[in-house]
A and B are shown apart, each in its own frame.
Chain A
């Protein structure tokens, strides 16, 4: 527990909201009106009573100091997490207008915070004491072998299907339609190779993806073939590449890299969702190590993933890498202090360097779609229908990806720049650059673009 003096900004609070409706509802509660007996303690507890439509006000309490992230409790019936009351209270607290004074937490808030912290400590002690995975190692080995056999059978079958497709020609894929691929994807799910299943499903969508689809379909078929072959010959691969293949196939792994403690700047946070799952990606940059890592967290459909790290904050924490050469994914380990605002910015490179780094990264992971990169001193420039980011001091430029070109964030980026150089963090790959966060030329906070 350190530094509780620094409060968050409204953007940082709103980034915790599980969805747009909560953001909106929370914003409305971020004013003194419905709140009474609100306060915050030096230990990092924020509490308050919020009058709702019922006769009894809701009791809302938030622990902002916990090193594993903010925790919330509210007596309202909402199943959103955090609920609008927690968001509203945090906004009120962030507002620093005196409506959340320093004080002694009331009993109901104190009890919850203490109970929570005690449980967390107990768990940490238990984790440290107990062995990581109990069970019969022999049985585990047999399970792993059986799964590998299934995957091998799946990969072999997939190779056969790809060969059949190439023999009769991609043009036939257009007529075959989606059903063929759905069925093949289901076979890969049965073979316990979720990575293969996901790629196969994407193949099914390509023939209807507009002009140039045969090129994209051949590329994806070829990379899928490469992954199959990598699995079938994994014994002969270098360790790093073999681990990358296992991870691309979809085998579970644990972040067993050595923990790296650093000041991790939150570069970007964004969610993608399908009907079953919300995936949250958080990019971190280590001020000391110079490493950029990716944290993934998941939430069931309609629920926000629990990990929430507002852009522009930095946290003193340990992260451990997942196995696999060229893999950016890491897991967040111990946090030594809550995330706090920082003036620090990642150093930027020019456009040519960004492209070269992506090319180099393909050596370790040929399936890599894009690579995180910070472009220093670039200007958004209109180019035909789309936009590009051009070196302010050179003649080279990177096109924005089609998806990035249609996001509202694009116009925030253009407005922030006003035709002048900006620093932009994003993902750079063979489809172009996808901007996620930008900083103005002079002083100023990070502006999220996603």
Chain B
């Protein structure tokens, strides 16, 4: 450093690192600088007027010397590398698409009116499902953005974590922001013990965290119903009430007749919630003793009365909720605003196996039973209870009967069966039948009530369903309303419409002539909405092709 215009002090060996001590000269300078040369003059610096300058000279030399003499530090303890991800890498085009989808995260800038551009974040779930279907590994550098996206949206988590693979769990252990990934993956990503490891299984069941135990029980149940029940029986008596409730709930999977004795014992549980869950499960087993007892009680309340001109269902509500009923899970106290006796009736009918009704009501089919008039305004109460039973017992023939034909006038209005109940009933039907029913409903009743029903249909929508939605949107546009009245359905259509429908949409993207009675400017907004729908469908088609191995 010939450049420093300072008297160079006697050379001092450079410190081992920038932070290390050994810079006693430097410390002396810092102390003097803090106090001021008026109070303290470091050694080797003349006192008086030039002391500040001499101190700065010395400090400059020390500063450059310290920096130039800096050494690398010791490496900290290494961490275990991430497990290898054996899955194949994404095709390059799909990897680029993922970058673009993730760039559209909320908080990544932008915003404002939606315009004609697709909402990329809404397409991420579908992209993930397809990528997972092909079994691709996530690009490592995309993992932080993926985990951030999943952190904000719990609905994305299962698909993101499946796609992100073992390295995401490795990352989650290093960053507290992503701890949810460890919770979602039982055992912090370690595989659950299988049937070949009874020791590990028992150990995890007896000593694991609650979430791990639930995951273990569910996994075992999915594999072997009896093994799960046996595992649960070993510790049942000593479990806490909340835990008993959650564990009992896992028996829903693969519920079968062999579960009955266990559930019967649970009917005598100390906890009311456990008792009612056990009762509910038993009632979903048509052959169970509880179902038989409920059928008997309900049968005493509902009968065909021939004293009217036409056969009519007569209802005689229970007079009391006896201890036997309570033991079988009937809740005695009615909620505010409901009559006690109709409350009891509802619970009895709901828990009665649907298969017992044709025998009890003159050999009629479910359709015929639903069509019977009901005396004394009991129809709504009775039908609602049958709806709940059909959903609980996953009974398509009763669901069909209660749904009725989609074109029936009461289907679109406030009938005995609400839209929410219809949506639940639809979920018991096979996908094509479900889609067909909703298509028929939309064709007759339009879109304003269809949102809930569309939500239970499988993606992508079938041809008839997609056609019905597009036609209905077209009709709504011609009727002159604004598109945002249908923004919910539009949003669903962007995600669910088959990309093949894009052709039908072409014609709808033109701005129509403004009709006299139309809302001002509506045509332009409709055109914009259809353009966005079209763009989104094309993008979805491109996404699918990018993910398809060539």
Given contacts A31-B118, A222-B59, A226-B60, contact A238 B70 (CB under 8 A): no
Which of A53, A233, A408 has the most C-beta atoms of chain B within 10 angstroms of its own C-beta?
A53
Which of A27, A230, A379 has the most B CB atoms < 10 Å from its CB?
A27
Q: A14-B103, A414-B174 are in contact. Are A230 and B5 (CB under 8 A)?
A: yes
The residues of B that contact A218 with a CB separation of less than 8 Å are: 29-30, 33, 59, 63
Residues of A within 8 A of B190 (CB): none
Q: Does B143 contact A (CB under 8 A)?
A: yes
Bound-state CA distance A397–B77 (Å) is 11
The B contact surface, by secondary structure, is helix
Q: Helix, strand, loop or mixed for chain A's interface? A: helix
Q: 0/1 per residue, B31-63, Cβ < 8 Å to A?
A: 001111111000000000001110111011011
Q: Is A188 positioned at the interface, with any CB of B under 8 Å from its CB?
A: no
Whether B167 lies near A418 (C-beta < 8 A) is yes
Q: Is there contact, CB below 8 Å, between A238 and B2?
A: yes
**CB distance A31 to B78 under 8 Å?**
no
Are A19 and B109 in touch, CB under 8 angstroms? Answer: yes
Interface membership of B68, Cβ < 8 A: yes
Q: Which of under 10, 10 to 19, 20 to 34, or 35 or more describes the interface residues of A?
A: 35 or more
**Does A172 reach chain B (CB closer than 8 Å)?**
yes
The answer to whether A414 and B171 touch across the interface, beta carbons within 8 angstroms, is yes
Report the separation of the CA atoms of residues A408 and B66 in the bound assembly, to the nearest whole angstrom: 31
The stretch that binds B, out of A116-124, A142-150, A178-186, A351-359, is A351-359
| B319 located at the interface, meaning its Cβ lies under 8 Å from any Cβ of chain A in the complex | no
B residues near A171, Cβ cutoff 8 Å: 34-36
Contact A20 B108 (CB under 8 A): yes
CB within 8 Å of B: which of A289-304?
none
CA distance A95 to B545 in the complex (A): 12
**Is B411's beta carbon under 8 Å from chain A?**
no
A388-422 toward B: CB 8 Å interface, digit per residue (1/0)?
Answer: 10110011111100000000100110111011100
User: A223-263: which have CB < 8 Å to B?
Assistant: 223, 225-226, 229-230, 233, 236-238, 241
In chain B between 92 and 137, which residues have their CB closer than 8 angstroms to a CB of chain A?
92-93, 96-97, 99-100, 103-104, 108-111, 115-118, 120
The verdict on B379 contacting chain A, using a C-beta distance below 8 Å, is no
Tell whether, in the assembled complex, residue A388 and residue B73 are in contact, meaning their CB atoms are under 8 Å apart.
Answer: yes
What residue in chain B is nearest A34 (Cβ atoms)?
Answer: B116
> Does A102 sit at the interface, judged by CB under 8 A?
no
Instruction: Check if B191 is an interface residue, CB within 8 A of chain A.
Output: no
Residues of B within 8 A of A24 (CB): 103-104, 108-110
Whole-angstrom CA separation of A360 from B64 in the bound complex: 11
Shortest distance in angstroms between B98's beta carbon and chain A's nearest beta carbon? Answer: 10
Q: Which residues of A contact B142 (CB under 8 A)?
A: 415
One of A104-112, A158-166, A267-275 at the interface:
A158-166
Q: Which of chain B's residues have a CB closer than 8 A to the CB of A162?
A: 52, 56
Q: Which A residues lie within 8 Å of B108 (CB)? A: 20, 23-24
The yes or no answer to B531 lying at the interface (CB within 8 A) is yes
Residue A30 at the B interface, CB < 8 A? yes
- Are A415 and B72 closer than 8 Å at their CB atoms? no
Q: Per a CB cutoff under 8 Å, which of B69, B81, B104 touches A420?
A: B81
- Does A167 lie within 8 Å of B36, measured CB to CB? yes
State the interface size on chain B (CB cutoff 8 A).
84
CA distance A14 to B120 in the complex (A): 16
A51/B531 in contact, CB under 8 A: yes
Chain B residues lying within 8 Å of A225, measured Cβ to Cβ, are 53, 56-57, 59-60
A168, A360, A411, A412: the one contacting B36 at CB < 8 Å is: A168
| A94 vs chain B, min Cβ distance (A) | 8
Known: A20-B109, A91-B100, A416-B141. A397 touches B79 (CB 8 A): no
Contacts of B18 in A (CB 8 A): 430
What's the nearest-Cβ distance from chain A to residue B230, in Å? 40
Please give the distance in Å from B19's CB to the nearest CB on chain A: 9
Interface-facing stretch out of B342-350, B391-399, B532-540:
B532-540
Residue interface bits A17-37, CB-to-B below 8 A is 1, else 0: 001110111011111111000
**Interface contact B75-A381, CB-CB below 8 Å:** yes
Whether A397 lies near B141 (C-beta < 8 A) is no
A351 to B532, CA, bound (A): 52
Add 12 more A-B contacts to A34-B535, A222-B59, A226-B60 (CB < 8 A): A19-B109, A170-B34, A215-B30, A218-B30, A221-B56, A230-B3, A233-B5, A366-B60, A382-B79, A390-B78, A415-B141, A415-B167
Q: What 7 A-B pairs have minimum CB-CB distances, sorted nearest first?
A: A33-B535, A169-B36, A419-B81, A20-B109, A28-B117, A24-B110, A390-B75
Binding site for B on A (CB under 8 A): 9-11, 14, 19-21, 23-25, 27-34, 51-53, 55, 91, 94-97, 159, 162-172, 214-215, 217-219, 221-223, 225-226, 229-230, 233, 236-238, 241, 351-352, 354-355, 358-360, 362-363, 366, 379, 381-384, 388, 390-391, 394-399, 408, 411-412, 414-416, 418-420, 430, 440, 447
